[in-house]
Amino acid sequence: MNKKAPPLLISLKPGYADLVFQGLKTAELRRRLSQDIVNRDVFVYVSSPVKMLRGGFRIGQVWAGSPDQIWDEVSRMARVSRKTFDNYYYGSNVAFAIQILDVWEYANPKSLEDLRVQFPYFVVPQSYRYMKASECRCFRNLKRIPRQGSAIKHSKPHSLAA
């Protein structure tokens, strides 16, 4: 893990989260992204109607480029249609994607209500946010169930960023 910065907490829609935890979605698309996130842990909050912290993954490769370059590079890994992709990046000149590695789920995922009892000021990110130290300590101590095939490393892709 990157020791300089805390892990990330991201929000995923339920369908995309299911694909991640099934090992079918191996790249996540983002319109904006923090720098220096390779090999960082990511905790996954599944948005409404699920509303729970379900698990996480490790970031592998990071791609940056035009939306067309990113589509060419990760379309199969991202598990979205071209129409959905184009709608998501509409008006953007730059697109980002992160490789999803080492996926885990929690044996007992935490509901939003449970999270807010434990962390009264818990904020669900619109896209992503850095985690607070107290959240990191708690979330790292929850029992994890590694997903089958999550340790499989994909062929090493290249970054489009200069």
Sort 89 into a burial class: Cβ within 10 Å, 0-12 / 13-18 / 19+. Answer: buried
* Average confidence score pLDDT of the chain: 89
Number of domains in the chain: 1
Indicate whether 129 belongs to any domain: yes
Place of tokens 């912290």: 53
Which pLDDT band holds residue 146 (cuts at 50, 70, 90)?
confident
Indicate whether 158 belongs to any domain: no
Domain that includes residue 127, residue range: 8-146
CATH number of the domain that residue 53 is part of: 2.30.130.30
Q: Are 69 and 106 in contact (CB under 8 A)?
A: no
Indicate whether 48 belongs to any domain: yes
pLDDT at 159: 43
Indicate whether 67 belongs to any domain: yes
